[in-house]
Amino acid sequence: MEVNDALVQQLADLARLEFNEQEKTAIRGDLQRMITFVEKLNELDTTHVKPLLHLTADYNVFREDEVITTITREEGLQNAPAATSEYFEVPKVIKK
């Protein structure tokens, strides 16, 4: 696949990006190298290779759920700019 200026401009439009001519030339070269790499991978025989489902041999490794109090409610609220005895107070953001 050949990367041309029209493809670079189309990708820039889709991503809502703007590039100057020097940046377009650099991106065109980068895209061409990536596509060449993927095309090179297509030359490999992968008929007997199983699909990779997980990156590691670990599967569903769980830990025990333990409730550990790190700070008290009072400690958590002491530096708040506005708070009640139980909650943070924040400005209203929904207008009717």
- What residue ranges do the domains of the chain occupy? 5-41
pLDDT category at 11 given cuts 50, 70, 90 is very high
HSE of 27 in the Cβ direction (CA atoms, 13 Å)?
Answer: 17
Instruction: Reply yes or no on whether the pLDDT at 79 is more than 90.
Output: no
The mean predicted confidence, pLDDT, of the chain is: 88
CA torsion angle for 15, 16, 22, 28 (degrees, to 10)? 20
HSE of 14 in the Cβ direction (CA atoms, 13 Å)?
Answer: 6
Residue-wise pLDDT tens digits, 22-62: 999 999 999 999 999 999 988 888 888 888 877 777 777 78
pTM of the model: 0.48
Is the CATH number of domain 5-41 1.20.1530? no
